[in-house]
Amino acid sequence: SIRLQNIEMNTLNQKLDNEKFDGLDLYASFDRNATEAFQIDIRGKLISYKEGAFYFDGKTIPTLNKNKVNFRVLLDRTTIEIFVDDGFNVLSNYITPYTEDIEVMVSSSQSTVFDVFEVHGLNSIWQ
C-alpha cells in the first residue's frame, strides 16, 4: 500500500515507478480549481479528468460541482469500477487489462497536485 498527501504528479510517478499491481484499490482527491486535466494509466487503461468530469472508455462520469473532487477505482482481472465524489456517480465496466502492464502512472500537460493519493494492491481470492 502507498498513501501520499499533497503530492505533485512527477513525485507521485517516481514513488509509483517500482510498484506493480495486479488488482488494485486506488483513491485520490484534488482541488478542482487548481486542476484542469490529467490522465491516469492503470494497467494500460486510461481514466481522464477534464472540465469537471471523468472519462473512461467513451463514457462520461460527472462530478459534483464542489471544490474538492475525489475518486476511487477498483480494478481486478476483468472488472473496473470508478466511484466519483463518494459514490455520487459510479461506472462499472467489463475490461481486460493488459497482462504485461501492471503499473500506475499519472500524466498531465500541467503540474497536478493530489491532496491524497493512495493505492492498495489486491491479491486474488483464488490463490
First to last CA, the chain: 19
Q: Is pLDDT of 4 > 90?
A: yes
**pLDDT per residue over 60-84, tens digit each?**
999 998 999 999 999 987 889 999 9
Return the higher-pLDDT residue of 45 and 68.
68
Residue 125 is predicted with a pLDDT of 67
The predicted model gives 4-33 an average pLDDT of 92
Residue 96 is predicted with a pLDDT of 75
Residue of 5, 113, 105, 108 whose CA lies nearest to 50: 108
Residue of 118, 124, 123, 122 whose CA lies nearest to 30: 118
